[in-house]
Amino acid sequence: MNIVVWTIFFATIGLIGCLFEWRGKFLGWIARIWGKVILKVGGIQYKVNGLENLDPNSHYVFAANHESAMDIPLTFASLPFHIVSISKIELKRIPIFGWAMMAGGHFFVDRRNHKQAMKSLEKAKKSMTKNPRSIILYPEGTRSMNGEIMPFKKGGLIWALQMGVPVVPVALCGTRDTLKKKSLVLKNHPLTVEVGAPIETASLTFEDRQQYVANVQQAVVALKAKWQENG
């Protein structure tokens, strides 16, 4: 329940702030504070490894595994960038929360309509040219039920390739033990974010897409395996 209350609270503040700032940077900052508050209120400790791999003045596409609803606040809390998401279109219709996402420059895709999804990605490319920011992707497309990383879908990653934006593999570790799917019970379990080195896309072509997507997935799998080995 606390998550819902804090989400509405910060979304409302963000909506008010965006009246004075069109690029969404204020809402990006609010999203980071929201993520930190959600984790703090839940008594959840987390650490981030690998931020030294990134240039704080650059923009990236972050590609992360997805195990829990806690992945989202953890992502925003741990990555010190102006980040927006590519989300399912259903979230756009949620009062206050969806409005805040739209005002913050997040992107929405109708996954059931491939043609419309491609149009949405083209629109996103134009928006990114006008107003650069970083993007978080969860390429599995849905939450893993057993913690195993599922095959990555190509859509968002190919968009990053076409834009020539570096892709950063990210492993979100421990979130499934903190909040399981369909559960309302939040457990105090320490979390870790493993950030990999950026994978450059500027020199890649569309013909490279299969190996490129495989490389991104393998990098995320390796980061999670590293965390598991370190206990």
Q: What is the pLDDT along the chain (231 residues), one digit of tens a residue?
A: 467 777 777 777 777 776 676 677 888 888 899 899 989 988 899 999 999 999 999 999 999 999 988 998 999 999 999 988 877 777 777 777 776 777 777 777 776 766 776 777 777 777 777 778 899 999 998 888 777 899 998 888 988 888 889 999 999 999 988 876 666 667 788 999 999 999 999 888 889 999 999 999 999 999 999 998 886
Extract the tokens encoding 147: 């913690």
2-230 fold? Glycerol-3-phosphate (1)-acyltransferase (3.40.1130)
Q: What is the pLDDT of residue 1?
A: 46
Asked whether the CA dihedral 136, 139, 141, 147 is positive or negative, the reply is negative
Strand order in the sheet with 134-137: 46-49, 191-195, 167-173, 61-64, 134-137, 83-88, 107-109
Q: Which residue has the tokens 């972050």?
A: 62
Domain ranges of the chain: 2-230
Residue 97 has φ and ψ, to the nearest 5°, of -60, -50
Q: Are strands 167-173 and 191-195 parallel, antiparallel or unpaired?
A: antiparallel
Q: Tell me the C-alpha distance between 101 and 107, whole Å.
A: 8
C-alpha 39/C-alpha 96 separation (Å) is 21
Q: Evaluate the CA torsion angle 51, 163, 213, 35 in order and state its sign.
A: positive
Write down the pLDDT at residue 111: 67
Q: What is the pTM of this model?
A: 0.86
